[in-house]
């Protein structure tokens, strides 16, 4: 049986650049770690396109569409879980969180508009979480600002934006991975002393297990945002079956104590360019359990037709409920504005 290597966009973010050398927000959102884009298909005869990687920027490849659908699905899953619970209310806030969800071309044009406004390199948390009792006041402010889609284009110095931020309990940075956490090979293993960590507890370097990911390039911008607005940031990482969270302050403590060391990964941009970036993979042992899937999403066969009549199929993620654990809700309840 022959094996072929295919590529699909299923992962993390990489900084791209446009023709003027500026950060390209569209490519930044869609680029992925090389660890997440290779998989094997067995029992297929040799194919001439086995090593072909579609360029979604030019060809609207199925890999791009999968990445887009995955990101929209995972963030919506978190928002729905919070809003259905009833105690709190989540609002998409970061540039990617309020981007168009149903039209691929509009999605790209949105990021081009960010770049044109000089906001392509802006870093804001993906979600803001409020008390449910503040929902009416929050939505009134959002409407006055032009709606959710306009939040990224409004300066945080604006009085209404300041009023909005003052009501937030926490801010959330969202990450996602297409893994069933409970089936990952090192799930359930206990941390043990590791020579590479100076005797501190950890796992082998190549262990495959649920982690909460923070990118090195995001640490500075997130720290500055948190300090400026005094709102605690949490990182929530969604897997196919579970979700984990950790506060940004706790993550920084783990980094400073050497309990979690950076990993260097190669990232592939939609334009085809690659570069190396440092990320931190925080063992789920250090995170709190945010929630567990009550039902799995439907993986729906979908497609788009480009202007030349070319059909590009992809798998669309739809539905699937996430039930929040009290451990996750308690993190919001006890959150206090920073001094």
**pLDDT per residue as tens digits for the range 282-339:** 999 999 999 999 988 888 887 777 667 777 787 888 888 999 999 999 999 999 999 7
Do the domain assignments include residue 233?
yes
Do the domain assignments include residue 297?
yes
Nearest alpha-carbon partner for 173 in 132, 226, 210, 120: 226
| Residues facing 283 on adjacent strands | 211
pLDDT computed for residue 238 by the predictor: 94
What b/e string do you get for 47-70 counting C-beta neighbours within 10 Å, with b at 16 or more? eeeeeebbebbeebbbbbbbbbbb
Pure H helices in the chain: 25-30, 56-59, 62-85, 104-116, 135-144, 159-166, 216-229, 248-256, 326-333
Do the domain assignments include residue 161?
yes
Do the domain assignments include residue 16?
no
pLDDT computed for residue 1 by the predictor: 34
| Residues facing 212 on adjacent strands | 282
**pLDDT per residue as tens digits for the range 59-75:** 345 666 677 777 788 88
pLDDT computed for residue 63 by the predictor: 65
Phi, psi of 168 (to 5 degrees): -70, 135
Do the domain assignments include residue 13?
no
Do the domain assignments include residue 35?
no
- Print the domain residue range for 183: 55-333
Eight-state DSSP code of residue 34: G
Residues of the chain with pLDDT under 50: 1-23, 37-60
Do the domain assignments include residue 29?
no
Number of domains in the chain: 1
CA angle 292, 207, 76 (to 5 degrees): 30
pLDDT computed for residue 81 by the predictor: 95
pTM of the entire predicted model: 0.82
Do the domain assignments include residue 22?
no
263 alpha carbon, distance to own chain's centre: 18
Q: Where would I find the beta strands (DSSP E) of the chain? A: 3-7, 16-17, 23-24, 32-33, 38-42, 88-92, 127-131, 170-176, 192-193, 201-202, 211-215, 233-238, 242-247, 262-268, 274-283, 288-293, 298-305, 311-318, 322-324
In the Cβ-directed half-sphere of 200, how many Cα atoms lie within 13 Å? 11
């Amino acid at each position: 049986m022959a094996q072929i290597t295919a590529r699909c966009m299923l992962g993390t973010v990489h900084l791209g650049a446009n023709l003027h050398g500026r950060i390209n927000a569209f490519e930044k959102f869609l680029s992925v770690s090389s660890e997440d884009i290779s998989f094997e298909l067995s029992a297929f005869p040799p194919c001439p396109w086995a090593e072909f990687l579609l360029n979604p920027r030019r060809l609207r490849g199925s890999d791009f569409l999968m990445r887009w659908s995955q990101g929209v699905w995972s963030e919506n899953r978190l928002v729905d879980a919070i809003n259905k619970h009833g105690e709190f209310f989540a609002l998409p806030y970061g540039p990617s969180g309020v981007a168009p969800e149903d039209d691929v071309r509009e999605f790209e044009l949105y990021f081009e508009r960010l770049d044109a406004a000089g906001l392509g390199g802006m870093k804001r948390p993906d979600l803001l979480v409020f008390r449910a009792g503040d929902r009416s006041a929050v939505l009134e402010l959002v409407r006055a600002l032009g709606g959710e889609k306009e939040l990224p284009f409004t300066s945080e110095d604006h009085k209404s934006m300041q009023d909005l931020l003052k009501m937030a309990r926490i801010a959330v940075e969202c990450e996602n991975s297409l893994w069933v956490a409970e089936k990952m090979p090192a799930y359930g293993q206990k941390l043990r002393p590791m020579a590479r960590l100076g005797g501190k507890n950890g796992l082998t370097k190549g262990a495959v297990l649920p982690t909460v990911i923070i990118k090195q390039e995001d640490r500075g911008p997130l720290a500055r945002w948190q300090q400026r607005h005094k709102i605690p940031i949490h990182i929530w990482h969604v897997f196919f079956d579970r979700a984990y969270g950790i506060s940004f302050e706790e993550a920084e403590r783990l980094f400073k104590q050497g309990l979690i060391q950076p990993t260097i990964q190669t990232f592939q941009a939609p334009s085809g360019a690659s570069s190396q970036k440092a990320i931190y993979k925080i063992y789920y042992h250090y995170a709190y359990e945010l929630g567990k899937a009550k039902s799995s999403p439907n993986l729906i066969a979908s497609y788009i037709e480009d202007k030349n009549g070319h059909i590009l199929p992809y798998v669309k993620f739809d539905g699937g409920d996430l039930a929040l654990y009290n451990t996750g809700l308690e993190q919001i309840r006890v959150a206090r504005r920073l001094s």
